[in-house]
Chain A
Amino acid sequence: MENWRSYQKVILPDIPGLHKIETYEREGGYEMLRKVLTDSKWGPKEVINEVKAANIRGRGGAGFNAGLKWSFMPPKQEGVPRYLACNGDESEPGTIKDRRIFEYNPHLFIEGALIACYAMEMDAAYVYIRGEYADWIDMMQRAIDEAYSKGYIGKNIMGTGHNIEMYVHKGAGAYICGEETSLMESLEGKRPYPRSKPPFPAQYGLWGKPTTINNIETLACVPLVMRHGADWFKNTGAANHPGPVLYGISGHVNRPGVYEYPTGMLITDLIYKVAGGIRNGKKLKAVVPGGSSVPILTAEQIEGITMDADSLRTVGTFMGTGGMCVLDEDTDIVKFLLRIAEFYDHESCGQCTPCREGTGWFVKVLRSIYEGRGEMKDLDLLLELCDTMEGRTVCALADAAAWPVRNTIQRFRADFEAKIARSGVYSVA
């Protein structure tokens, strides 16, 4: 796939001032909203079908076809409100992309959210943004205010008789609020404990009403699909996981950053040709391809692997949020995993015993290995803990905490064993 070299950015194009509504309009912005609202060819069903055909796989981590999710909404009942929840919690470590949309192309997201509300016959969109993004919340609020004043949001949009409201909700520092049902509890003003499913949000969502939740980048793809067509989207990047995507590359590379390219890029191209290679001329040790919860890859494993679900599956990992952390040969993998474990321990809501206890034990055991007090049987204990957590809790945080532990131990076992072997020496001394 060499055509990425001539790729033209569409989510974050280099157009100065694109965050301002006048510039966005000049570039054809809000025309797709106008089209769906006024052209009788584009009824809600037709829009859903187009988005489904494009196969936008959710950019929030789970990779579910957005249009298919939209089609799960029950038939509209008069007098029963319906909601869109826009997930801008962006708290999965390594994930740095939605913030760029808030800053550089907020109207693309707003237009996408409005088209989604039209297609699913919704009354309002709630944009949940992590509290740490205070400056970017202000930017989003400004953009929404502009769109209100131009008549794209609110009552009787563009004189078409459609009403859609849009509100920003500021988080206050809790990773769990990115989980879809926790986000809804948080918006409802409760302690944000995830709900058990079913019922799913389409049946019982915000305030018990039909609700769909999508990631910010997912929604930003919607006007692009409407403008260029589902076929264009489907034929961009990898066949089963198509479209433009924001790759967030961090760690030991020369040019860390957010890069927009099609899906299906070789990981090696992203590291060496896009992000400028490993800094200080070091060798690569490991790559976490899509946020802290996805399984880590060794340097050998990434050869020939591309950033899409099918290719990543062959090496037992996922696209996640597209936030890639690159680690060089000097990385202490045990310490790296310990810090990830501390994150999940800190962020577990504590509702389920396997998660609350398991994340705490991960930290204790990994710290003892890191500090030179570990034993070989600790590695088995960690893997057994993973068994007690995976698939046994209300939400997927427990899985997200267990996957890195299981996979890092399996793939870098020698690093753990070396620490443990040395700990014997220390305890004698």
Chain B
Amino acid sequence: MPCNMESMNYTFTEAEKAEIQRHIEKYPDRRSAVMPALWIAQEKFGWLSNDAIRLVAETIDIPYAHVYGVASFYTMYFKEEVPPHLLEVCTCFTCGEIGGEEMLAYAREYLEADEKGRSKDGLFWTRSAECLGACDTGPVCQITNRRYVHRLTKEKVREVIEALRAGKEIPYEPIPLNDQSILDD
């Protein structure tokens, strides 16, 4: 394997290696640690370059091609270098009927996104999401593989984008259990 300057940067810290080792021990076969290790690599490097995938393969001690095959299957693993903030707006099933597409279009307009959905300032990218499992509080959007923003409106889209621009974290938005009072007419 060529050892150029770039791949030299691709290493895990001792703590990260220990964390991967803990994952390996959860399963009877070390191959099972590939998904958790890919998550750790993506958290660290922002996306899964060939070097990151190779590092995961070496750390778990399984073939590169195998790790690549897994990484390339899943939509949440990024296979190209991406802007820091991802807005994934659900346009699926229910959200598609209650304004999801309008919210995605608005986010792209507000961000002056190009045809790939990337913002002019290079800080954001947008994708249309499949059902996020929050149809009752839709239209819903997920921020960079974590926070959900529920009941999107144009104002909320703007607020979220501006908060991210200002370097703020999007807080967890609790959704209480539903009120089960019965409505009779």
**What does the 1/0 interface line of A169-210 toward B look like (CB < 8 Å)?**
111111100000000001111111000000000000001000
- CB <8 Å contact, A325 and B172: no
- CB <8 Å contact, A331 and B185: no
Q: In the bound complex, how far is the Cα of B179 from the Cα of A169, in angstroms?
A: 32
Asked whether any CB of chain A lies closer than 8 Å to the CB of B20, the reply is: no
Give the total number of A-B pairs whose CB atoms are below 8 A apart. Answer: 162
Known contacts: A96-B136, A188-B29, A273-B183. The answer to whether A12 contacts B177 by CB under 8 A is yes
Known contacts: A172-B74, A251-B98. The answer to whether A339 contacts B91 by CB under 8 A is yes
B interface size (C-beta, 8 A): 51
Out of B70, B133, B178, B182, which one reaches A5, CB within 8 Å? B182
Q: Distance (Å) between the CB of A166 and the closest chain B CB?
A: 10
Q: Distance (Å) between the CB of A54 and the closest chain B CB?
A: 24
Known contacts: A174-B75, A189-B29, A273-B182. The answer to whether A251 contacts B97 by CB under 8 A is yes
**What does the 1/0 interface line of B66-92 toward A look like (CB < 8 Å)?**
100110011111000000000000011
Asked whether any CB of chain B lies closer than 8 Å to the CB of A260, the reply is: yes
Q: Distance (Å) between the CB of B33 and the closest chain A CB?
A: 7
Asked whether any CB of chain B lies closer than 8 Å to the CB of A29, the reply is: no
List B131-145 residues whose CB lies under 8 Å from chain A: 131-138, 142, 145
Q: Inside 8 A of A192's CB, which chain B residues have their CB?
A: 73
- CB <8 Å contact, A94 and B131: yes
Asked whether any CB of chain B lies closer than 8 Å to the CB of A232, the reply is: no
Q: In the bound complex, how far is the Cα of B94 from the Cα of A95, in angstroms?
A: 10
- CB <8 Å contact, A132 and B97: no
Q: Distance (Å) between the CB of A192 and the closest chain B CB?
A: 7
Which chain A residue has the least Cβ–Cβ distance from B138?
Answer: A250
Out of B70, B97, B178, which one reaches A189, CB within 8 Å? B70
Q: Inside 8 A of A292's CB, which chain B residues have their CB?
A: 93, 131
Asked whether any CB of chain A lies closer than 8 Å to the CB of B11, the reply is: no
Asked whether any CB of chain A lies closer than 8 Å to the CB of B17, the reply is: no
Known contacts: A191-B69, A251-B94. The answer to whether A167 contacts B26 by CB under 8 A is yes
Asked whether any CB of chain A lies closer than 8 Å to the CB of B28, the reply is: yes
